[in-house]
Amino acid sequence: MGRRTGLILLGGCLFCAGASAANEPLRTVTIAPNAGYSASWFHGFFLGQHWRDTWATPVEVPVLNLDDFDGGLLPDRQGGGLETTNLHFKSGNGNTWAFRSVDKDPRSKLLDEDTRGSWIGDLFKDEVSSAQPYGALLLPPLLDAANVFHSTPQLAVLPDDPRLGDFHEYAGMLGLLEERIERLILVEAREDIAHIPGLRIAVRLQALRADLLHHALHRRVD
């Protein structure tokens, strides 16, 4: 499993080499997504073996270069849903990037404080091990083959860098970085981006969605 995991990560990690200056060595760290999911056979028998070995296996991952990546990145705001820690960045080239934690924690927004600290909270957290931590890296080639418009996540670790500012608590977090591509869908398919697989279809679907929403909001019931 360890060797296969390393091969899977290779394609998702090479982006940082291009983000660094040509004369700078690629900076990497060795990190496990969450070794806390490793468990005894007894624990695994009752709660499932899941992807525990993958979560607990250290892998070499590039450190995100905030100075050079896409013209330089500055944190903009914190986001996230019910489980994921999410940090949005603005780049020097005018793009928006989202950095989403690989590890999840469903307890913080789904359980009250007392329950989060109980064995029930521990069970909630343990079930995260049922997800493949690097599964998102496998999707882009499949979506390309299906001509589906998509973003391409890239695995990295947030650096201990003054650029993080008020979000310095996230330094050292393993996550997936991907560009927010909604802006491409909300504009006409310009000639310079028309080559992107599935973009024209996505634009048409967005227009259809807006049209349906408009009619739904303005429909009168007699």
Domain boundaries, the chain: 2-180, 185-222
Q: How confident is the model at residue 14 (pLDDT cuts 50, 70, 90)?
A: very low
Q: For residues 51 and 130, is the Cβ–Cβ distance under 8 A? A: yes
pLDDT digits (tens, 9 = 90+) for 168-187: 888 999 999 998 876 654 55
- 28, 4, 146, 84: CA torsion to nearest 10: -50
Q: What is the pLDDT of residue 10?
A: 45
DSSP 45-105: HHH--TTHHHHHS-EEEEBP-TTTGGG-EEEEEEE--SS--EEEEEETTS-EEEEEESS--
Q: What is the pLDDT of residue 182?
A: 63
Q: Is the pLDDT of residue 32 over 90?
A: yes
pLDDT digits (tens, 9 = 90+) for 103-159: 888 777 778 788 888 888 888 888 888 889 998 898 888 888 887 777 789 999 999
CA distance 71 to 90: 10
Q: How confident is the model at residue 20 (pLDDT cuts 50, 70, 90)?
A: very low
Q: Is the pLDDT of residue 5 over 70?
A: no
Name the residue with higher pLDDT: 186 or 32. Answer: 32
Instruction: Express as a percent the part of the chain with pLDDT over 90.
Output: 25
pLDDT digits (tens, 9 = 90+) for 78-111: 877 767 788 899 999 888 899 999 988 877 777 8
Shortest CA distance to 80 belongs to which of 48, 111, 115, 109? 109
Shortest CA distance to 124 belongs to which of 107, 112, 104, 103? 107
Q: What is the pLDDT of residue 44?
A: 76
Q: What is the pLDDT of residue 17?
A: 40
Q: Is the pLDDT of residue 45 over 90?
A: no
Q: What is the pLDDT of residue 112?
A: 79
